[in-house]
Chain A
Amino acid sequence: MRRIAVVPVLLVLLAGCTSQGLTVADVWGRPPPSAATNAAFYLTINNGGEADQLVSADSSACGTAELHEMYDKGDGVMGMRPVEGIEIPAGGSVTLEPGGLHVMCIGRLADFTPGDHVPLTLEFQNAGTIEVNATIRES
C-alpha cells in the first residue's frame, strides 16, 4: 500500500519547473547585435492542468519586458503588437517562437552573448510565478 503512494510523490518531485501541472521548457533567445536595444525570448509552455494565462513577464536584464506578437497583415506586411495575456488551454501547449509570440525585452541592460543564461520571471494567472533562465543561442 505504501509503495503505491511513492509513485505520485516522485512524479511531483520530478516535475521540475512546474506549478499545478504547468511546465515551461526550452526558454531561449537569440544574441541581439550590441546596437539593438531590444531582444526577444521564446519558450514553450505545456499545460497538464486547468486552462491558464501568461499574464506578464519580467527580467532583471531588461528595462521592461512585455508580451508581444508578430502577425501577418497580408501582402507581405508583418506587424507587431503588445498582447494582454497569452491563453494556455487546459491540457494544451503554447510555443512562443520567431515570427509569432515572444517576450520582448525592451531596453537591454546587459549584453547577451551565446551561452549566457538570462533570468526571466513569468506570471501566470493560476500557476503563479515561475522563474526560468533563457539560454542565449544562435537559433
Chain B
Amino acid sequence: MKRLVIISGSILTLLVILLVGLRLFRPHVFSGTVIQSPEPSFNFTLQSASAPVSLSDFSGKVVVLYFGYTFCPDVCPTTMTDLAKAMKLLGRKADDVQVIMVSVDPERDTAGKLEEYVHAFDPTFIGLTGTPQQIAEVAARYGVYYAKHEGSDASGYLIDHTATVMVINEEGRLKLLESFGTTPEEMAADLAHMIN
C-alpha cells in the first residue's frame, strides 16, 4: 500500500514539474514575422551627419532598420515614437540595439536634417541618407518599396513606402519583420529575445 502511494505520488509530482516546466520554458512567440535568412543582409554604407556608416559597424548588436522620410507627418513619427518607447522598455538591454532610419527622400532629407529628426525621438538613433542611386540599391536589397506621387501644391510630392520595420540579428542576418502598428511592448519583447 505504502509503495503504491510513493509511486503514484512520485508520478504525480513529476507530471506537475513537467507541466510547470513546459509553461515556464516555452519558447518566445515572436510578434513579428520570422525570416530565416540564408545569407547575411546587404552591408550598406550610407551617409550620416558626421561620417559614412555601414551596417557592419554594428556587428554584435541587433539593428532595427526603418525606411521613412522627415516630410511624413504621421506614419514615420508614429513608428519612431513606438521604437523610442520600445527602447525605454528594454532598459539596459537597449545598449545592444541600434535603431537606424534610412531616408527614402534623399532629395529633401539632408544628413543633418535626418540626424536632428531621429534625435528628437531618441539620442541614440541614427539617420542615414545617400545619393538617390545608393538609396535605391539599399531599398531594393531589403525589399523596400517606395514611390513618389503628387501631393498638393503646398505639400509637394509625397512618398508611399514600405512601413515595415526590419530587425537584423547580431550576426548581420535579417531575422524579423515588424509590421506597421506593432506596439512598443511587442517590439521590446521580440528584441529582448534577440539579444544574447
Contacts and interface: CB of A to CB of B under 8 A. Distances in A.
Interface string B70-88: 1111110110010000000
B78 A99 contact: yes
Contacts of A81: 149, 151, 158
A95 interface: no
A75 B154 contact: no
A76 interface: yes
Interface stretch (B17-25, B52-60, B111-119): B111-119
Interface string B141-173: 000010001011011001011111000000000
A27 interface: no
B120 interface: yes
Contacts, number: 105
A32 interface: yes
Interface residues of B, number: 35
Interface of B: 70-75, 77-78, 81, 112-121, 145, 149, 151-152, 154-155, 158, 160-164, 177, 179-181
Given A99-B181, A104-B155, 13 more contacts: A31-B120, A33-B117, A33-B121, A35-B114, A37-B71, A38-B71, A38-B73, A38-B155, A40-B73, A76-B162, A77-B160, A78-B163, A99-B180
